[in-house]
Structure 1
Amino acid sequence: MMQKHRALGLLAMLLLGVVLLVNGRSLTANQPEPPPPPPTFPPKPTVMQPQTPAGANIFQYLSFIVRPEEFGPWTDTQDRQEVVAFYQIEYLASEGVDSGWTGNVGSCVAGSTTAAFKEAILRRLNYFRAMAGVPALEGFLPDYNSKAQAAALMMSAEGALSHAPDAGWACYTAAGSEGAGSSNLYLGVYGPSAISGYILDPGSGNYPVGHRRWILYPQSKNLGTGDIPPSSGNSAANALWVFDTANMWGSRPTTREAYVAWPPPGYVPYQVVYDRWSFAYAGADFSGASVVMNKNGSSLGLTVQPVVNGYGENTLVWEPNDSFSAAPSTDISYDVTINNVIINGSPQSFNYEVIMIDPG
């Protein structure tokens, strides 16, 4: 299907070691080439144009996803009962929603998905943001959705991923190319499962967890999603538009903590505790930072990853020498201390506790 030069390019992408996943954790052996790292910050425009969605309300999905009154602007992760309830009410509620997709890959028709399906994706996004102590997204912009949908169609049709697809790609459109350059991309998975996959951010090529950082970026208010379910001869695909250009260079909103960590401090369901841990602090210099961890009071080894800026807020990433995929029989405490974080020219240290739980 693909020309020889494109096949060689995809082989080079595969050598980056990025891993594709389905439903958040499970790896599949027969998936197409895995996703590349996400796009970094675009150049800041000299004049910010107001965003006015044409012919649609940007809040069209909010009525379905307003959190119950017992939850605040973000989750109180120090309250075990609230964390369990939030997982069951918000995370699990976004599973199993039919996409209602109206397109056709073979005919290069991007189509659309239902409002209910988009609500499920937005619910999953806001679950992670609330747990991380970041303000909720307001919704999806129709323009972002349209371009992301065109991008997802191209990825599914071509059976490959690129943030800069050329005109030779199957089902190529300028809108899809723009969407590809402004989005997290996934092949072989779509919908809410793709969101969990971006937070997981596995594979050697994604060690800076850039996909995660864009989802948890505090300034973001409006994103966009494009989703193609699997069909005969074509893989599922997701494109999550993450460049909220009207807000991404704005002032940082208040967050629960001064930093944004994943997993966050407090109680966290084991299903969303992943192999890579991250700690973001706006403008921080992590080049000389170190991390110390204890598991239930005993020292735990870890590997700190090289620092890479450009994806959302400056972030330190490390991988503890432990497994988080099995349900714990009792709560497990992880104490985290991060030293020598340079903020405004001064070294600072941070300490917090993550308690991994089985929400039942």
Structure 2
Amino acid sequence: MPARNAAMARVNEIRAMVGIPPVVYDATHDNQVQQAALVMAANASLSHTPPKNWWCWTQAAYDGASTSNLHLGMNTDGSLASPAAVVDALAIDMNVESLGHRRWILDPFLTRTSYGFVHGKPKVNVGWPYSYSGVLRVIDNLYANLSGLALDYIAYPVGKFPASLLPNGWYLSFSVLMDKSSPWNNQSVNYSGVSVKVTGPGGSNMPVSSVKYANDGMGIPNHLQWKCPGLKVGTQYTVTIGNVKFKGTSHQFQYTFILQ
């Protein structure tokens, strides 16, 4: 239970950083996420739809994998990643171009989560003697009531933000929360003509590249991301996002952040 509580606590710390409500722990799905973690660790591989020929496969493992963020690590000494380190890795989402794991963690409509963790020797030869897997359930059909949330967007990073959660050169991200009654009512946000500007001290422009957007169903079904290399710890930056269209109206958003 301490690991599960630690994972949920870290999820809620990150959610609080961006201004969205906390989640509660849901023990009813513990079996699914734990079995999913066993399958990932045993096979030293990740899949949201693990095939039946994988070691330790069960229907519960499949169900857990298909509704969760999955993390895998391998090493030579059997050392373990803490629950917070697993959650941080999912939030950073390094080398995952869609940022899908981050987007699920930052889903303001998410109300509950479950966490499973398994470590040991994999059943397949991958060149590493030890593997471990953390599985965080994030897909659910119980939506939060956000009617009292005074927030129109979810930005990462925003405000005072740990530099460890944004490796230099990796993606910043943003989603609009135009409708707080249902996540799917936010899918029609249009970023096709969007402008993204990041300024530093004195209004100096920072380089912005790799601007991408999506309206699929990972977390809030509208998502914008971009890279801004060269950000410095302790410096305040201003982000201005313009020409975001929703129901025919153009909107602009502006916020600041400091990596620390």
- What one-letter code is carried by the residue in structure 2 that aligns with 1:142? A
Q: CA deviation at 1:126?
A: 0.4
Q: Is residue 113 of structure 2 the alignment partner of residue 223 of structure 1? A: yes
After superposition, residues 43-54 of structure 1 pair within 5 angstroms as: none
For 2:141 and 2:82, locate their aligned partners in 1 and report how far apart those are by CA, in whole Å: 24
Q: How many residue pairs are counted as aligned between the two chains?
A: 232
For 2:149 and 2:192, locate their aligned partners in 1 and report how far apart those are by CA, in whole Å: 24
After superposition, residues 247-258 of structure 1 pair within 5 angstroms as: 247=143, 251-258=145-152
Q: CA deviation at 1:323?
A: 4.8
Deviations 1:50-70 (A, max 9, x none): xxxxxxxxxxxxxxxxxxxxx
For 1:145 and 1:209, locate their aligned partners in 2 and report how far apart those are by CA, in whole Å: 25
For 2:192 and 2:98, locate their aligned partners in 1 and report how far apart those are by CA, in whole Å: 13
For 1:128 and 1:213, locate their aligned partners in 2 and report how far apart those are by CA, in whole Å: 12
Q: Is residue 90 of structure 2 the alignment partner of residue 198 of structure 1? A: yes
- What one-letter code is carried by the residue in structure 1 that aligns with 2:256? E
Q: CA deviation at 1:256?
A: 4.6
Deviations 1:64-108 (A, max 9, x none): xxxxxxxxxxxxxxxxxxxxxxxxxxxxxxxxxxxxxxxxxxxxx
Q: Compared with structure 1, are the counterparts of its residues 255 and 210 closer, same or farther at alpha carbon in structure 2 (3 Å cutoff)?
A: farther
Contact 2:91 2:101 in 1 (8 A): yes
Number of the residue aligned with 1:352: 255
Moved over 6 A (4+): none
- What one-letter code is carried by the residue in structure 2 that aligns with 1:160? S
Q: CA deviation at 1:298?
A: 1.3
For 1:353 and 1:293, locate their aligned partners in 2 and report how far apart those are by CA, in whole Å: 9
SS state at 2:90 partner? helix
After superposition, residues 278-293 of structure 1 pair within 5 angstroms as: 278-282=173-177, 283=186, 284-293=189-198
Q: What TM-score does the superposition give when structure 1 sets the normalisation length? A: 0.61
Contact 2:67 2:138 in 1 (8 A): yes
- What one-letter code is carried by the residue in structure 2 that aligns with 1:187? L
Contact 1:198 1:212 in 2 (8 A): yes
Contact 1:225 1:241 in 2 (8 A): yes
State, as a whole percentage, how many aligned pairs show the same letter. 31
For 2:253 and 2:109, locate their aligned partners in 1 and report how far apart those are by CA, in whole Å: 23
For 1:214 and 1:322, locate their aligned partners in 2 and report how far apart those are by CA, in whole Å: 27
Number of the residue aligned with 1:171: 56
Q: Is residue 23 of structure 2 the alignment partner of residue 137 of structure 1? A: yes
Deviations 1:309-346 (A, max 9, x none): 2211111101102256xxx3xx2011110011012221
SS state at 1:236 partner? strand
- What one-letter code is carried by the residue in structure 2 that aligns with 1:351? Q
For 1:174 and 1:212, locate their aligned partners in 2 and report how far apart those are by CA, in whole Å: 26
**Structure in which a larger fraction of residues adopt strand:** 2
Q: CA deviation at 1:304?
A: 3.7
For 2:161 and 2:82, locate their aligned partners in 1 and report how far apart those are by CA, in whole Å: 24
- What one-letter code is carried by the residue in structure 1 that aligns with 2:20? V
SS state at 2:131 partner? coil
SS state at 1:299 partner? coil
After superposition, residues 220-299 of structure 1 pair within 5 angstroms as: 220-231=110-121, 233-247=129-143, 251-264=145-158, 266-274=159-167, 275-282=170-177, 283=186, 284-296=189-201, 297-299=203-205
